[in-house]
Chains A and B, each alone.
Chain A
Amino acid sequence: MIQTALIMIGVGIFAGIAGAILGIGGGMIITPILTLEMGLNIKYAIGASIIAVIATSSGSTIAYLRDNVLNLRVAMFLEIATTIGAIVGALLTGVLDPKYLYLLFGCLLVFSGWNMYRKLRRGQEVLQRVEPDKIASKLKLNGSYYDKAEMKTIDYQVENVPAGFSVMFGAGVASGLLGIGSGAFKVMAMDTFMKMPLKPSSSTSNLMMGVTAAASATVYFFNGSILPGVAVPMALGILGGAVIGSRIMQVLPARWIRVVFIPIILYIGIEMLMKGLGVHF
């Protein structure tokens, strides 16, 4: 029992650090470890990963709020789309063939990976337009954050609000229908579509992830998908890891985070395309 607890704390710390830096839930890291390495039933793995998403979100958001990295207005505005999407997704279970969703999101993620690669090559994090976006100004979405790596405050503008809102709605549908945290989609909506810099995108995604996951977590909590002996030490590890990760992220150059993010987003995208096409490997 002590051994399981120690392993889960260790896995949690690792998942917490990675999740806090990249703005994705720990599900991608947690699920394979629990099912493949520890032979746990997929039901418990899903229960554990939804707790992981909330722990990553709440653990990292403390620092991101205090240090003013995330964009609270963007988060709350887009949260309308993700929560409605999550309900629609849950209601569509059994009606819509998930195949099409896997194909659509697989393509979007691959496109986004390519776009991030171009951003990396260009070497420019923030694009300043002469004319600010009308909707973004009206909703007061434009923001600024203090970048500890560059040691200066960076102002940025938000663009393509309708496109970002639509992708967020899709991300909500995906998390309701497919049961995935969809942190990668959230980062993509803000970074690729709304042209936000990577650090505010990833920290804002972290805040939003928890709110979206809280709705479905209650279901898993009461239907017995949570194994306290596994989920609790993991959650404690993640909370610690996320607190560390949210500090590391702020001093890392955005370029480095992008370099790590691109292969991950491509991997998830290709995996989804494969699932959509019915190819198993």
Chain B
Amino acid sequence: MSEKEKTTTAAEMVQVETIIGRILQVGVVLSAIVMGIGLVLLLATGDSGYAGDTVPLTMGAILLGSWQLKSYAIMMLGTYCLILTPVLRVVVSIYAFYKERDRLYVMITTLVLIILLIALLIGLTGK
């Protein structure tokens, strides 16, 4: 690899990483805010919004409960956002590599996303 080629690749990489870093930051801050609101609400009211130790477990129940300002629902919503941040990272990486016209890594990263989605599907249906 020539010296010039090497510096171009390095500079491109910094750009790619900056884009992914910014978007990841937005996702993390957002989930932290949602989780924080839920926690403050729980500590301030002492009420989870549900009977006993019940935790809302379906997306519908979580969204409905968040709308009704139930603290456990908001906390679960924030946690779910946090779980999605690594997936977001892979999706944004595909776009960033595409912008840098790095076809090989667009393919590699897309493959990772597909495998990840298969894993999510197996997880949802399997257990």
Contact = CB atoms under 8 A, between A and B. Distances in A.
Interface in A201-260: 207, 210-211, 213-219, 221-224, 226-229, 231-233, 235-236, 239
A92 B123 CA distance: 14
B64 interface: no
B85 A72 contact: no
Nearest to B43: A2
Interface string A70-88: 1011001101100110110
Contacts of A87: 115, 118-119, 122
Contacts of A84: 115
A228 B74 CA distance: 9
B116 to A, nearest CB: 6
A53 to B, nearest CB: 10
A24 interface: no
A228 B72 contact: yes
Interface in A27-81: 51, 54-55, 57-59, 61-62, 65-66, 68, 70, 72-73, 76-77, 79-80
Interface residues of B, number: 58
A55 B39 CA distance: 16
B83 A65 contact: no
A120 interface: no
19 contacts: A5-B39, A57-B86, A61-B21, A62-B25, A76-B105, A76-B108, A79-B90, A80-B111, A86-B119, A87-B119, A210-B86, A215-B123, A219-B126, A227-B55, A228-B79, A229-B42, A232-B35, A232-B38, A235-B82
Given A62-B25, A87-B118, A224-B55, 10 more contacts: A5-B39, A68-B17, A72-B13, A83-B119, A87-B115, A211-B87, A211-B112, A218-B124, A228-B42, A228-B79
Interface of A: 1-2, 5, 51, 54-55, 57-59, 61-62, 65-66, 68, 70, 72-73, 76-77, 79-80, 83-84, 86-87, 90-91, 132, 137, 139-140, 143-144, 207, 210-211, 213-219, 221-224, 226-229, 231-233, 235-236, 239
